[in-house]
Amino acid sequence: MKKVAQISAACATMFIFGALWVPQARADGFTLGDAANFAVLYEGNGNNQLSTTNVTINGNIGIGDPSGVTTAFLSASGGLGATINGNVFYAGAVSPRNSINNTTFTGTVAGGNTNVQTDLNTLNKLSSDLGAEAGTNTAIALSGSGGTQTIHATSGILTKDASGNIVFNLTSVAFNNNNTLVIDGDGLGHNVVFNISSNAQFGGAIVLTGGLTADNVLFNFTGGSNLTGGSTASLNNNGQGFLTGIFLDPNGAMSVVHTNLNGRIFGGDSSNLQIVSGDTINSPASAPEPSSLALLATGMFGLIGFARRRKVQLA
């Protein structure tokens, strides 16, 4: 009976810990901070709109207010199964032109969320800092149909500031639909950054291997300044497979059309941001905070201590 009680207590401890703790892929490099709470962060500069028409967005939406006077707004409409599973946060006041029609909306709309603008400012600086890093020149060359290209992290350049990013400079992007780009982290444990200094359209599918997840891969569009003059980011894979990763373009226009994306859209400069025509955007689940893991470990050791005390009582 003593051994049965001891084994039962140990098994209970292991079961509880195993049920609560799910291993998360981790890589060294850039961090999103609070921005990891958003699927879409729109710069919101100028009298422009974020349009979400006939799409499914699983995650929160943030609209910035860099001028301190709310002018940008969300225009959401549907009728073909449009869904927003998340909240809409404005950095400033909620725009009177905010509109959500014919859309299943599970969240709330709120203004005065200072995290939104803080997150955008942090991401804009991150884009600039990463854009200045040395990287390996490479090209995405998938102009045909049915092709596959693999980019290995081992061929990139690890940032000299020891931040842990593997950096590539994309000299050109030819990425048609019905093609697959594989990005292999090679088990190195580093985030992968692609700096893009020209207009680019992403089609096809992006598959991550070698320990990478969507939040470990950043497509960083460079150029321009002060939310204007940058390269244009266009995502359109005709719903064929999923693009995977974070797309960051602070100073350039962005559009997402009939695209499946496991990742995030950050930026949009001083232009309208179109997320339309059958898109599905799945915001990656955030990894547990170190403090949460520490509390979990404390609980586990508490259970172990209980099992030991139980052993003494049964002896």
Over residues 215-225, the pLDDT tens digits come to: 999 999 999 99
Q: Is the pLDDT of residue 288 over 70?
A: no
State how far the Cα of 30 lies from the Cα of 149, in Å rounded to an integer. Answer: 25
Q: Reply yes or no on whether the pLDDT at 110 is more than 50.
A: yes
% the chain with pLDDT above 90:
78
The whole model's pTM is what? 0.84
Compute the average pLDDT of residues 93-118: 97
In the prediction, which pLDDT does 161 show? 60
Q: pLDDT-based confidence at 55, cuts 50/70/90?
A: very high
CA distances from 213 to 11, 280, 286, 287 (A): 31, 18, 11, 11
Structural tokens at position 66: 């860099």
Tokens of 75: 């225009």
> How many whole angstroms separate alpha carbon 13 and alpha carbon 3?
15
pLDDT at 292: 36
Is the model's pLDDT at 245 over the cut of 50? yes
- The four Cα atoms 237, 242, 246, 250 give a dihedral, to 10 degrees, of 20
On the question of pLDDT at 25 being above 80, the answer is: no
- The answer to whether 180 and 150 have CB atoms below 8 angstroms apart is no
DSSP 8-state assignment for residue 227: T
Query: From edge to edge, which strands make up the β-sheet containing 49-53?
Result: 99-101, 73-77, 49-53, 273-276, 254-257, 233-235, 200-202
> What mean pLDDT comes out for the span 23-31?
68
Contact 95, 71 (CB under 8 A): yes
* Phi, psi dihedral angles at 35 (to 5 degrees): -60, -20
Give the CA radius of gyration of the chain: 22
Cα–Cα distance, 33 to 48 (Å, whole number): 26
